[in-house]
Chains A and B, each alone.
Chain A
């Protein structure tokens, strides 16, 4: 039950793209297509923005996209906007009704 590894921070200028990685093992990220990404603003609850690696809930802009290769999942935010400045967390199903979260990445819009 070790946390998934994310970079502590990422940044980009408005209009640019930023990609956040989420590295786990073959027992979680690599073993299941149940990787989610959550956006969290200070003092607020997390919000689901990507699920099942690549799917977006209704209402989430298509600027947010997900992918996975082996034991590493990624979230890309294209056309970065000031409102995207937040903390981002990945999570993965780890089998037997267990889950694990990433360490979190703070995205700064320069």
Chain B
């Protein structure tokens, strides 16, 4: 079955950096687009970033452009999110999300990793 396991969350000071990882299993990782979606505490979901199956296309929500970088290692079935210049408003649970085959929908989600930006 599909499994997505995030790691790398934690507490970081404003202006700091953090890298999230997502270990994927149970599907052909190298043929599927992947995304990061975040949810601030007590608030709604926000799409953050997308990466094409081969890494050839990357997209970001405006609020993280220039600060966050999505990447993937298809040989190790792992998705990454490098987060730099972190701000208080980046505090959220970050979910690793798998794109559905032949569609533009999300179908499977990881359990999430909490990132807290605070001094």
Residues of A within 8 A of B (CB): 1, 3, 32, 34, 36, 38, 45-48, 51-52, 57, 89, 91, 93, 96-104
> Chain A residues with Cβ under 8 A from B45's Cβ?
38, 46, 89, 91, 101, 104
Counting chain A CB atoms within 10 Å of each CB, which of B35, B44, B111 scores highest? B44
Does B50 sit within 8 A of A, measured CB to CB?
A: yes
> Chain A residues with Cβ under 8 A from B112's Cβ?
45
State the CA gap A102–B39 with chains docked (Å). 12
State the CA gap A104–B107 with chains docked (Å). 18
State the CA gap A51–B108 with chains docked (Å). 12
> Chain A residues with Cβ under 8 A from B110's Cβ?
45
- Rounded to whole Å, the gap between the CB of B37 and the closest CB of chain A is 8
> Chain A residues with Cβ under 8 A from B52's Cβ?
97
Which of these, A51, A98, A103, contacts B47 with CB under 8 Å? A98
> Chain B residues with Cβ under 8 A from A1's Cβ?
61-62
Question: Given A51-B103, A89-B44, A91-B45, is A98 in contact with B59 using a C-beta cutoff of 8 Å?
Answer: yes
Question: Given A97-B52, A98-B59, A99-B35, is A51 in contact with B44 using a C-beta cutoff of 8 Å?
Answer: no
Which of these, B35, B47, B61, B105, contacts A34 with CB under 8 Å? B105
User: Do the beta carbons of B44 and A32 come within 8 Å of each other?
Assistant: no
0 or 1 for each of B64-94: is its CB under 8 Å from A? (1 = yes)? 0000000000000000000000000000000
5 contacts between A and B (CB under 8 A): A34-B103, A36-B105, A45-B110, A51-B100, A52-B103
